[in-house]
Amino acid sequence: MKTVRLAVIGLGTMGSDLLHHAVDVPGVEIAAVCDLQENLCDKAVAVAKGAQAFASYEEAIATTQPDGVLVAVPQGLHPAVSYAALGAGCHVFCEKPMALTVEECRQMIGAAAQAQRGLMIGQVLRYMHPFMRILELARSGELGKTIGGRVIRTMPGWAGEAARPWRALRAECGGMLPEVNIHEIDFLLCLMGHPTEVFAYGGHYVNNDVDYEDLVMANIRFEGGACASVTSSCCDAHGRNSGEIFFEKGSVYYDSLTGELRIARFGAEVEVIPYGELGPDCEPGVRREVREFVEFCRGDGPLTIPGEEGLRNVAVCEAAYRSICDQQPVAVTV
């Protein structure tokens, strides 16, 4: 098996998670780890023995010339690091959100095309339960076409490790929709296809730790006629990750508060599956996305979550914020 050499740029919460999974993927050598914080580099080298540590991503890429680069710096830097990697002939795995604007996403896709390299986006929620099970159900066709859905992902605010200064600023994280709910948006788009229009309301109500909307309700219309809504908040004392997906022949509910997936088929008893029974032995989502990227780098598999899908998700976020400002529906342009 050909060894795939990787560099991991950004070794905070997500970069360190990616690294821990990458060292477990067969045939991977971590050539470089990179972060501005030296202590994070030291920790990473302890995990990836033999990796060279760098404070500069340009130097990390130029010195070690990896096959693929995992980009896990804050999103304001995703384009710059991706350009450096693509320009050096590397394939890129970039964390979500792909970038802060649709225009930047377009330029990243253009750079990948010009370099003839792959650009994969870390929309990992689709590889995690209960979302993965719902997507499997949809693909099986057993419940017919997906006609709509409502997803809720809310939290009291940023706490602990997640309360990074960059996450409090719209200029650096983009707001709740790209930083958090882009995962649920990706899930809805996997289910319902191409988004055409967003009508959103929202505001900055009570969370003074952030400088952006702490409550957003966004409605999305899809090309095939389906409709969906996303509730996003960082001022919900409960905090919840739940949703209802409506199909022609039934509906599926999931809810972090009960820890259950409920599948209702017209005329049949409701099937209740505790999250713990959804696939305890299945491959962790982050490990799967890293493995797929490695297989792509080796030439053994397809690029499973291409830049175009990351762009579509950013386009929905952008349209939602524009809709809040303009107080009218906004077309999604991709």
Ligand X SMILES: NC(=O)c1ccc[n+]([C@@H]2O[C@H](COP(=O)([O-])OP(=O)(O)OC[C@H]3O[C@@H](n4cnc5c(N)ncnc54)[C@H](O)[C@@H]3O)[C@@H](O)[C@H]2O)c1
Chain residues that interact with ligand X, rule: CB under 6 A: 9-15, 34-37, 40, 57, 72-75, 77, 95-96, 122, 124, 164, 179
| Cβ 184 to ligand X shortest distance, Å | 11
Q: What are phi and psi of 3, to 5 degrees?
A: -75, 135
Question: Between 1 and 46, whose beta carbon lies closer to ligand X?
Answer: 46
| Cβ 86 to ligand X shortest distance, Å | 16
Question: Between 15 and 149, whose beta carbon lies closer to ligand X?
Answer: 15
Distance CA 96, CA 107 (A): 16
Beta strands 91-95 and 260-265: pairing type?
unpaired
| Cβ 119 to ligand X shortest distance, Å | 15
SS3 labels along 228-284? EEEEEECCCCCCEEEEEEEECCEEEEEECCCCEEEEEECCCCCEEEEHHHCCCCCCC
* Residue 225 neighbours by CB distance under 10 Å: 12
- Residue 292 burial class via C-beta count within 10 angstroms: exposed 0-12, middle 13-18, buried 19 and up: buried
Question: Between 75 and 154, whose beta carbon lies closer to ligand X?
Answer: 75
Question: Between 169 and 273, whose beta carbon lies closer to ligand X?
Answer: 169
Counting every residue written for the chain, the total comes to 334
Question: Between 157 and 250, whose beta carbon lies closer to ligand X?
Answer: 157
| Cβ 98 to ligand X shortest distance, Å | 9
Question: Between 197 and 211, whose beta carbon lies closer to ligand X?
Answer: 211
| CB-based closest residue to ligand X | 12
| Cβ 179 to ligand X shortest distance, Å | 6
| Cβ 328 to ligand X shortest distance, Å | 29
Distance CA 241, CA 231 (A): 10
User: What sign does the CA torsion over 181, 186, 192, 193 have?
Assistant: positive
